[in-house]
Amino acid sequence: MEKLILEIVDGRQVNEDEVLKLFDFDIEELFLAATKLRKKYKGNKVKICSIINAKSGQCSEDCKFCAQSAHHKTSVNVYPLVSNEKIEEVSNKALENAGCFGIVSSGNNLTDEEIDRLCDLLQKHKKADHFGASVGHLSDESLLKLKNAGLKKLHHNLETSESFFPNICTTHSYEERKDTIKRAKALGYEICSGGLFGMGESVKDRVELAFTLKDLGADSVPMNFLMPVKGTALENVVPLMPTEILKTIAVFRIILQTPDIMICGGREINLRDLQSMIFYAGANGTMSGGYLTTWGRDPQADKQMIKDLGLEIDPHR
Ligand code: SF4
């Protein structure tokens, strides 16, 4: 057994140079350290979250992976912000299986009218404290309005490292993304922020992202794995191997230690038969029931997988 793994299991935190070496270790050794940390901080509990793509397509931003960018020619559905009735209907169904429900919209921001509409929904919804929102860049005023309406969790992915971000998006800056997170954190929001892997970034970029999320105090870290979409700039990227995905999850648990680590888009397609191993790699949650523009698994199948592993579903956010 590598000395570094034994030290991690013993509770020593590692620096960036040490972490890079972990990618060369056997996956079983990383599973040992990551499972130990998951159990230490999360016990036997696993979280399930679910989302609605509440506003789709025609985004002015040029994120190279995204089927919803107007810079790409994809066959994604395009529609404006759906009605509050529709969000309520989908959320009520989703929260039968999930502990957290995310309202996700395309675009780098919502209009004042759209923010007011979401505030109205949150004020009236009995389970508003289970809601998160992923609605792009937000002013202090909009953040406050949503918070006063009952929103507890703000989702805003960094997507990748600051060093690699210019390869992925040129229409807004990494600083802008971090700024939204910092201001939301200062206002008392729980922060849900993670990234997308398999876009051509290096292992060093992944480690850099994990340390940035740690510095920002992310409470929950969603990890997505690229499913190349025809018509996007990344349509020909070769997907990551399942073992590389699992090692990346384990390294995130080792760096981040305490936050929730949620495995989201790309789980089923990229991990295939190895998807139940996300929990041995240190994840303590997953998204179920479908993603923004791609299919997901039936939540009942995910619940069965969790039960079969001897884990319990956490009914709370
Ligand atoms: S990731 Fe978000 S901001 Fe970027 S193109 Fe897609 S919808 Fe727009």
pLDDT over 70 (residue 304): yes
Domain of 120 in residue numbering reads as 3-313
pLDDT at 98: 85
Domains contained in the chain, number:
1
Whether ligand 1 lies within 6 angstroms of the CB of 59 is answered as yes
Please tell me which residue, 261 or 126, carries the higher pLDDT value.
Answer: 261
pLDDT over 60 (residue 97): yes
Average pLDDT over residues 204-220: 97
pLDDT at 109: 81
pLDDT digits (tens, 9 = 90+) for 282-295: 999 999 876 665 66
CATH of the domain at 176: 3.20.20.70
Cα–Cα distances (Å) from 49 to 46, 120, 162, 284, 304, in that order, read 10, 22, 27, 11, 15
- pLDDT classification of 3: cutoffs 50, 70, 90: confident
Pairing of strands 195-197, 100-105: unpaired
Q: What is the DSSP string of 98-146?
A: -SEEEEEESSS---HHHHHHHHHHHHH-TTGGGEEEE-S---HHHHHHH
pTM for the whole structure: 0.94
Average pLDDT over residues 106-118: 89
Which residue has the CA at smallest separation from atom 4 of ligand 1? 63
Whether ligand 1 lies within 6 angstroms of the CB of 108 is answered as yes
- pLDDT classification of 208: cutoffs 50, 70, 90: very high
How much distance in Å is there from the Cα of 70 to the middle of ligand 1? Answer: 9
How much distance in Å is there from the Cα of 133 to the middle of ligand 1? Answer: 14
pLDDT at 295: 65
Our mutation pick for probing the ligand 1 site, out of 66, 155, 172, counting the most ligand atoms within 8 A of Cβ, is 66
Q: Do residues 46 and 85 touch, judged by C-beta distance below 8 A?
A: no
What is the residue-averaged pLDDT of the chain? 91
